[in-house]
């Protein structure tokens, strides 16, 4: 079970460069995972908005990435989907590895000492993973780190082709060229990491001792604790009602968290509070409205804005909420979307398989003032660019009920071509 593996993995990993899991709670019908709040966005967004990075800045992020991956490997965990989209930044610019949904634990290693599941993102995957003959998870992860290093300094992918077969041929041959602005030592390191032969590829301990890598290097300091996965197994037992305690010591925060999730905490049990059918959309207060609105967003007072590829958008309407719901359903269905409604929330599920699976769009209506509603559409799954195209088509069908659109998801974005193939 993928969710169980991800929870187990994140409990095993306690490192300053890995997103921290605070607590896990489960009822008979839901699993609640409380994660560290990381506000700096994806490293991917930084590449899209700024293009390539300077070598010293790249080295800082690469050092943190290698520290995190090396620690994961020491705990028997192999990520298997390392890419800039899965690398987050906190408010201080510290890198945090996330998304362990495809990770492998020691029990998945077969008798030959290798992993055998082909997974990952094509542009970042190691050649031996594609071969389907088994691979060393540590060496495959390091290959992905090498691709990330190249992307950060070059601003584009080392292996790129619209044809998947042609792409895999380039990966198998390590058919890439470093741009002229790479330093000699950086080129040497990248070529040793992107060695298509895993037996001669450089190892992480060797990377850490590399001259280019060592410049300004500070080993991480953190507490290492003995971790048991017994309580994770308890979450998935027959009753399905239990908790994993991971360190919420503030009782006020815990109380507020449980209220926000709509659950009641009774010792080691978590019980969902019964939800009554909503007769009207949720009312949005002034602070929530400010946080949603671009025009009133106060974050520019505190942090530099980045042009990122957006995964959500909003519009306002003065039509009745039920009419808005009906119009969205009426417009989305001919576009090939299955519509599921729950009070004033909707889930639009694409019937066709896109580049990253089926496009899924979460929609919710908020009342911001009497007879004024805000509708939020957020990409819940699938490809971001496909979400942009879907929203443009949807917007045309909703023109009679829309009072004002927020800026389009892809309007004004630049540099997205660097990584569109990987999203």
- 155 vs 178: CA distance, rounded Å: 11
Q: Indicate whether 66 pLDDT > 90.
A: yes
Tell me, yes or no, whether 75 and 163 share the same domain: yes
pLDDT in tens, 136-145: 889 999 999 9
Listed residues 163, 191, 214: the one ending a domain: 214
* Residue 265: predicted pLDDT: 57
pLDDT in tens, 26-36: 666 677 777 88
Q: Indicate whether 122 pLDDT > 80.
A: yes
pLDDT in tens, 341-351: 888 888 999 98
Instruction: Give a yes or no: residue 235 inside a domain.
Output: no
- 331 vs 395: CA distance, rounded Å: 9
Listed residues 214, 234, 252: the one ending a domain: 214
The pairing of strands 263-266 and 31-35 is unpaired
Residue with tokens 């999203």, as numbered in its chain: 423
Instruction: Give a yes or no: residue 407 inside a domain.
Output: yes
Taken in order 2, 140, 89, 162, the sign of the CA dihedral is negative
Q: Which is nearest to 93 in space by CA: 122, 64, 68?
A: 64
Tell me, yes or no, whether 207 and 295 share the same domain: no
pLDDT in tens, 383-392: 888 888 888 8
**Out of 45, 56, 70, 81, which one is annotated catalytic?**
81
Q: Indicate whether 296 pLDDT > 70.
A: no
Tell me, yes or no, whether 208 and 65 share the same domain: yes
pLDDT in tens, 14-24: 888 988 877 77
Instruction: Give a yes or no: residue 231 inside a domain.
Output: no
Tell me, yes or no, whether 210 and 299 share the same domain: no
Instruction: Give a yes or no: residue 272 inside a domain.
Output: no
Q: Indicate whether 217 pLDDT > 80.
A: yes
Listed residues 196, 214, 232: the one ending a domain: 214
| Mean pLDDT to the nearest integer, 210-235 | 70
- 77 near 12, Cβ under 8 Å? yes
| Mean pLDDT to the nearest integer, 222-237 | 53
Tell me, yes or no, whether 207 and 324 share the same domain: no
Instruction: Give a yes or no: residue 115 inside a domain.
Output: yes
CA 364 remoteness from chain centre: 21
Tell me, yes or no, whether 201 and 301 share the same domain: no
Residue ranges making up the domain that contains 18: 2-214
| Mean pLDDT to the nearest integer, 265-293 | 55
Burial class (CB in 10 A: 0-12, 13-18, 19+), 286: exposed
Domain count, the chain: 2
Q: DSSP readout, 206-229?
A: HHHT-HHHHTT-------------
* Residue 156: predicted pLDDT: 92
More reliable by pLDDT, 116 or 74: 74
Average pLDDT, the chain: 76
How far the first Cα of the chain sits from its last, in Å, is: 24
Tell me, yes or no, whether 86 and 201 share the same domain: yes
Tell me, yes or no, whether 286 and 176 share the same domain: no
% the chain with pLDDT above 90: 30
Tell me, yes or no, whether 410 and 323 share the same domain: yes
Q: Indicate whether 406 pLDDT > 70.
A: no
Instruction: Give a yes or no: residue 408 inside a domain.
Output: yes
Instruction: Give a yes or no: residue 10 inside a domain.
Output: yes
Instruction: State the pLDDT confidence band at 302, using cuts at 50, 70 and 90.
Output: very low
Burial class (CB in 10 A: 0-12, 13-18, 19+), 221: exposed
- 176 vs 163: CA distance, rounded Å: 16
* Residue 258: predicted pLDDT: 61
* Residue 384: predicted pLDDT: 82
* Residue 233: predicted pLDDT: 52
Tell me, yes or no, whether 209 and 289 share the same domain: no
More reliable by pLDDT, 363 or 265: 363
Tell me, yes or no, whether 79 and 207 share the same domain: yes
pTM, rounded to two decimals: 0.57
Instruction: Give a yes or no: residue 399 inside a domain.
Output: yes
Tell me, yes or no, whether 27 and 148 share the same domain: yes
**Is residue 81 annotated as a catalytic residue, yes or no?**
yes
More reliable by pLDDT, 208 or 230: 208
* Residue 237: predicted pLDDT: 54
Please tell me whether residue 10 adopts helix, strand or coil conformation.
helix
Q: Indicate whether 415 pLDDT > 60.
A: no
Please tell me whether residue 269 adopts helix, strand or coil conformation.
strand
């Amino acid at each position: 079970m993928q969710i169980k593996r991800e929870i187990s993995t994140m409990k095993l990993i306690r490192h300053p460069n890995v997103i921290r899991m605070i607590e896990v709670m489960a009822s008979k019908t839901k699993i609640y995972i409380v994660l560290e709040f990381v506000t700096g966005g994806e490293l991917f967004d930084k590449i899209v908005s700024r293009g390539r990075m300077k070598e010293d800045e790249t080295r800082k992020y690469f050092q943190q990435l290698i520290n995190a991956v090396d620690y994961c490997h020491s705990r028997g965990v192999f990520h298997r989907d390392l890419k800039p989209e899965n690398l987050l930044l906190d408010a201080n610019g510290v890198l945090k590895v996330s998304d362990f949904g495809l990770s492998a634990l020691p029990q998945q290693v077969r008798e030959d000492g290798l992993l055998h599941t082909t997974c990952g993102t094509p542009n970042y995957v190691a050649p031996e993973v594609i071969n389907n003959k088994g691979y060393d998870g540590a060496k495959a992860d390091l290959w992905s780190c090498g691709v990330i290093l190249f992307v950060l300094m070059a601003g584009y992918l080392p292996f790129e082709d619209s044809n998947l077969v042609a792409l895999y041929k380039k990966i198998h041959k390590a058919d890439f060229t470093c741009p002229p602005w790479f330093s000699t030592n950086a080129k040497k390191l990248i070529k040793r990491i992107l060695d298509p032969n895993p037996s001669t590829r450089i190892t992480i301990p060797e990377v850490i001792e590399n001259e280019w890598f060592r410049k300004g290097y500070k080993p991480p300091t953190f507490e290492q604790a003995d971790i048991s996965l017994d309580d994770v197994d308890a979450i998935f037992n027959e009753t399905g009602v239990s908790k994993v305690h991971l360190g919420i010591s503030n009782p006020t925060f815990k109380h507020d968290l449980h209220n926000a999730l709509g659950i009641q905490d009774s010792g080691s049990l978590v019980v969902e509070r019964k939800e009554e059918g909503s007769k009207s959309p949720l009312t949005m207060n002034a602070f929530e409205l400010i946080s949603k609105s671009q025009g009133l967003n106060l974050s520019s007072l505190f942090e530099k804005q980045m042009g990122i590829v957006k995964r959500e958008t909003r519009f306002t309407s003065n039509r009745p909420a039920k009419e808005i719901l009906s119009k969205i359903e009426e417009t989305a269905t001919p576009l090939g979307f299955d519509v599921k409604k729950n009070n004033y929330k909707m889930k639009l599920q694409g019937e066709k398989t896109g580049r990253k699976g089926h496009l899924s769009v979460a929609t919710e209506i908020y009342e911001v003032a009497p007879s004024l509603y805000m509708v939020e559409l957020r990409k819940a799954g699938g490809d971001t660019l496909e979400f942009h195209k879907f929203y443009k088509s949807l917007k045309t069908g909703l023109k009679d009920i829309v009072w004002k659109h927020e800026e389009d998801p892809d309007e004004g974005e630049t540099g997205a071509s660097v990584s569109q193939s990987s999203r």
